[in-house]
Amino acid sequence: MFSELAIAYLFFGGTGAGACVVLGLLECANIGRYGVRPAPSIPGLGAVAPDLSASGLGAPASVSPASRLSTPAGERRAGGSFAVPHELMARGWPLGLLFLAAGALCLMADLGRPERMIALWIAPRPTVVTLGAWALLLTLLAATFFAVAANGDCSRMAPGLVLVAAAVAVIAGAVTTAYTGVLLGSLPSVVAFASPLVPVLFCLSSLSCGVAVVFAASSFVNSRSSFGGALRRLARIDGALIGAEGLALALYTAHLFAQPATLAGARALVQGEMAVLFWVVLVAGGLVAPLILERRYPAGDRQVKGLWIAFCVLLGGVALRLCVTDLAAFDLSQMPEFAFGLVGPPGP
């Protein structure tokens, strides 16, 4: 029922949008690195070195007490528990933009003609589809803005402008993560999708994949020891997201077993054709493995461990979308011959 391009859009678009939400919140937490003016000169000391604690880099040993006094207290406190270096944002935003762009290209290719995508933005009446198209466009624009700014001279940018752009990234990204699940729920022909747990599952998975993008980007920063605290807190947040996703998945599976119209799909998911994808790839690889790997992360300067966490979470995100979309093939609404008893139920 769903093409490979449509499933790819659900994954790439959701992951990129989740990354925009996480990175946008980190931008708000590290707003003190913007609007930095040149350090004043002190007679006898020369130019005062700026305080780098706002970006999570820590202050170098050569910084004098006078330089600390010359840095605004608000700038030193910027980031707080989630202080990260500029280098992480300079790698994270392009990576998130890459996922978003891949999702948009898959969507346009699946539509067949690019002008159909444009027609969604200029539709006279607002619908769920047009809302999702606009959310995707705004998320793309916000990610592009930060990807360019983070890799240029952004220190003089007005903090107010950054906050507005970050708010757009967070809100539009959150709408996009939810939309990828709402899109399936809006298909009345498939009973298995008619559950509020579907957008919840996709939203939780997208946010967890967004954290995974940050972990992948952090693995390409020279050192993680200076912002290990922020990574540990992100790992705890991701653990909560994975736990909630696992609970939602269990409830959704029970919901499928509780309805005669979706019973065949539930059996195929748990003990039939999709059992390996469900238990091995999604549950074991995408949920259990990241929870184990995130324990005591980064615990030093674990460069490769962040990549393994990101790989497992993203693999689970792909498996979730494959499992949910493949349920349509076993849905009673797609098999009227089964409803009238002309054939037996699919699966074992």
Q: Give the contacts of 162 (CB within 8 A, at least 6 positions apart).
A: 27, 31, 34
- Residue 51 is predicted with a pLDDT of 46
Distance, in Å, from the CA atom of 277 to the CA atom of 290, rounded to the nearest integer, reads 17
In this structure, the number of other CB atoms found within 10 A of the CB of residue 166 comes to 23
- Vertex 217 angle, CA 211 and 221, to 5°: 135
The confidence score (pLDDT) of residue 170 equals: 98
CA-to-CA distance for 155 and 153, rounded, in angstroms?
A: 6
Q: Which three-class secondary structure state does DSSP give residue 42?
A: strand
| Least confident stretch, 68-72, 104-108, 118-122 | 68-72
- Domains of the chain in start order, with CATH, are 4-37+73-339 (1.20.1630.10)
Over residues 51-99, the pLDDT tens digits come to 444 444 343 433 333 333 333 333 334 457 999 999 999 999 999 999 9
User: Looking at residue 275, what is its pLDDT?
Assistant: 97
Per-residue tokens: 155 = 């220190």
Q: Which residue has the tokens 């011959």?
A: 337
Maximum Cα interatomic distance, the chain, rounded to a whole number of Å: 94
- d(Cα 298, Cα 199) in Å, to the nearest integer? 31
- Given a contact cutoff of 8 angstroms between Cβ atoms, the answer to whether 139 and 148 are in contact is no
Separation CA 188–CA 241 (nearest Å): 28
Note the pLDDT tens digit of each residue in 241-300: 999 999 999 999 999 999 998 999 999 999 999 999 999 999 999 999 999 999 988 876
| Rounded Cα distance, 54 and 161, in Å | 18
Q: Mean pLDDT in the chain?
A: 83
Cβ neighbors of 288 (< 8 A, separation 6 or more) are none
Shortest CA distance to 194 belongs to which of 249, 264, 262, 275? Answer: 262
The model's pLDDT over 126-166, given as tens digits with 9 standing for 90+, comes to: 777 788 889 999 999 999 999 999 998 877 889 999 999 99
| CA dist., res. 341 & res. 338, Å (int) | 5
Q: Pick the residue with more confidence: 146 or 187?
A: 146
Lowest mean pLDDT among 104-108, 135-139, 314-318: 104-108
Instruction: Return the C-alpha torsion angle 326, 327, 330, 336, nearest 10.
Output: -110
Q: How much is the pTM?
A: 0.84
